[in-house]
Amino acid sequence: CRFSQMLHPIFEEASNVIKEEYPDKNQVVFARVDCDQHSDIAQRYRISKYPTLKLFRNGMMMKREYRGQRSVTAIADYIRQQKSNPIREVQDLEEINSLDRSRRNIVGYFEQKDSDNYRTFERVANILHDDCVFLSAFGAVSKAERFSGDNVIYKPPGENAPDMVYLGSLTNFDLIYAWTQDKCVPLVREITFENGEELTEEGLPFLILFHMKDDLESLEKFQQEVARQLISEKGTINFLHADCDKFRHPLLHIQKTPADCPVIAIDSFRHMYVFPDFSDLSVPGKLKQFVLDLHSGKLHREFHHGPDPTDVAPGQPMQDVASSPPESSFQKLAPSEHRYTLLREKDEL
């Protein structure tokens, strides 16, 4: 791969720069994989374009791969940024009262920094600092919040939103990571041109609400029904919402325009399927059945062959259906934006 060959000396020089700053081999490791020889590794981490730069922390692959400039300075700066402390230490509890409540905040109150509890908290913050703001207080500063020992609190967005307390073991990384991830990564996320490829690389189909930016009522209804009907499907499908104006192109794929919004659709990365009527969103089980029909293959069958016979009422004619459903749009759209950026960077090289 010509672009991989172009990046190789840059990547190697960046590793030499970082090695001088962090000589301890346990601090930063640069590695390269020949995906022709190690196709199993490429498959495991869903590598489909070359070169790809992935970041791992504590053995876990981060969702966001490196997409910055392909230069020694940019790559070295990225590593320095990743090595910076992701937790802001609070010197006075009054600082907690002035937090930006439009963000998701995780606050840890500890007796001392040199403790297993804090080290576990630090590991979690290193992984999830892109999704939450992490803060900590120690000793006398945190004493008022440690009435039953070290404590971790989640402060959700919204001035009047109630705090949530972590009740598990503070030394159990898996438990506190799962709890924090659940709080930091919202159930329904917004898809944008900037994160479209990143979401695609998670490998899960999309259930998308297309809505006008100021139509918060439809978004709230969608969020409520996803939480009510589909919480058990988390991990099998990504729940997203998109701005109708910005994503006119995917709407065209399903023969819709912003005037039709709100619209719900599934993008399976092969085809796009439309939820029949937004007003049916609150019908018990309707949205869940839509997702289950994706997993069972029913949506795919019906788009190609018409409604299943069992779904047609006696005497009702089967509908004429197009020979093939609309193709996936997001998978094409997001990477194309990224390809333009990469080509521009490669031209600079």
The answer to the question of residue 344 being in a domain is no
- Assigned token pair, 99: 């937090």
Q: Report if residue 339 sits inside a domain.
A: no
Residue type at 164 in one-letter notation = M
Domain boundary among 140, 167, 184: 184
- Per the CB < 8 A criterion, the answer to whether 263 and 231 are in contact is no
Q: Give the chain's mean pLDDT.
A: 85
142 token code pair: 């945190």
What's the mean pLDDT in 220-226?
94
Same domain flag for 64 and 93: no
**Residues 28, 21 contacting (CB under 8 angstroms):** no
Residue 37 φ/ψ region, left for φ over 0, alpha for ψ in the -120 to 50 degree band, beta for the rest:
alpha
Same domain as 68, residue 55:
yes
- CATH number of the domain that 305 lies in? 3.40.30.10
pLDDT (tens digit per residue) in 239-255? 999 999 999 988 988 99
User: What percent of the chain is modeled with pLDDT above 70?
Assistant: 88
Within 8 A by CB and 6+ apart from 243, the residues are 190, 192, 210, 211, 212, 213
pTM: 0.66
pLDDT number for residue 326: 65
Structural domain including 234 reads 189-334
**245 and 160 in one domain?**
no
Report how many domains make up the chain: 3
pLDDT of 331 = 56
- DSSP H helices, the chain, are 2-21, 39-44, 72-83, 94-97, 116-128, 139-142, 173-184, 196-200, 216-229, 248-253, 286-296, 298-305, 330-348
Position 204 scores a pLDDT of 86
CB 106 within 8 A of CB 130: no
Same domain, 176 and 209: no
Q: Is there a domain that residue 342 lies in?
A: no
Q: Using 50, 70 and 90 to split pLDDT, how confident is the model at 291?
A: very high
